[in-house]
Amino acid sequence: MEELEIPWGPFGVDPYGVSKKHLAVGFSMVEPLYRHYFSVKVLGADNVPPRGRGMLVGNHSGGIAIDGAMVIASMFFAKNPPRLAQGMVEKFMNRMPFASMLTGKLGQFTGLPEHCIRLLEDERLLMVFPEGARGTAKLYRERYNLVRFGTGFVRLAMRTRTPIIPFAFLGGGAAVPTIHNAVALGRMLGAPYVPITPYGLPVPLPVKLEVEYGEPMMFHGTGAEADTVIEGYVEQVRTSIAGMIERGRVRRESFADQTLKQFRAGSASR
């Protein structure tokens, strides 16, 4: 915790209410999942600035928050010195008991523009999923797809002169193989939906996950440019992420093919 760039107060709390104690407990709970259950592979971590403002922008994958949790974990465990990636959570989280209080203590806040601007101007590392809630609703067959990106993240990056570091998260769609999204059940629980898997509830399987960070992208301007200009910048970010997803898909399918061939060869020799 001491290596983080967070300005801890005398009681181990930063100006935003982020708690050193809660972070330590949170990372100790996530570490076995990160290192062993999901065996997360991280590529390109050096593309993330070691200090100062930055915006991690990537794809949703997995139906539940394993993507955000593992990206945050990768910045803590695979980055030297470690960094705290602070995510912008969906507004429905504020309606869930104790959720907003707990996420705030872990450095994750509601995705409002004013929150983003303040964090970036304080030289924090922000994590953004421009697909929004639509991106979390992907079915298993759509796991390598990207849905429409919002444009606000580019305007914020330009306004605050923040580099965008695109990233691709792979494996979440296989860890939580969603075949249906139960909207009615989700509304009963205060969420947009509940992912339904072939085995029922969305309990993640022990699938190897990957995070790849691309080269930083800097867009100059005020953030008040015409929509057509901003949309062009958004498309550049989206294209970078799509390229990393495609490379990751090829890697994963090649590994699966090799494993299957080895299994068949071993079976034939018996």
Predicted confidence at residue 188, as pLDDT, reads: 83
Question: Exposed e or buried b for every residue in 48-60, given b needs 16+ CB within 10 A?
Answer: bbeeebbbbbbbb
Closest CA to 83 of 55, 57, 63: 55
- Give Cα separations from 238 to 113, 130, 228, 245 (angstroms): 20, 9, 15, 10
Q: Is the pLDDT of residue 255 over 70?
A: no
SS3 131: coil
The answer to whether 69 and 30 are in contact (CB under 8 A) is yes
Report the 10 Å Cβ neighbour count for 20.
18
pLDDT digits (tens, 9 = 90+) for 71-81: 999 999 999 99
Omega prior to 81 cis, within 30 of 0: yes
Q: Can you read off the two tokens belonging to residue 201?
A: 């509830």
Read off the pLDDT of residues 98-131 as tens digits, 9 standing for 90 and up.
566 678 788 888 778 898 999 999 999 999 999 9
Give the residue, 61 or 268, on which the prediction is more confident. Answer: 61
Confidence of residue 254 (pLDDT cuts 50, 70, 90): confident
Count Cβ atoms below 10 Å from residue 270 Cβ, excluding itself: 4
- Residue 155 identity: R
pLDDT averaged over every residue in the chain: 89
Q: CB of 66 within 8 A of CB of 176?
A: yes
DSSP string, 97-129: TTHHHHHHHTT-EE--HHHHHHHHHTT-EEEE-
Q: Please give the C-alpha separations between residue 152 and each of 91, 128, 174, in angstroms, as whole numbers.
A: 16, 10, 29
Amino acid 113 reads: P
CA distance 87 to 46: 20
Look at the chain and count its residues. Answer: 270
Percent of the chain scoring above 70 in pLDDT: 90
Provide the token pair at 26: 């949170």
Binned at pLDDT 50, 70 and 90, residue 132 comes out as confident
Domains of the chain and any CATH numbers: 20-268 (3.40.1130)
Residue 69 contacts residue 179 (beta carbons within 8 Å): no
The C-alpha atoms of residue 134 and residue 136 are separated, in whole angstroms, by: 6
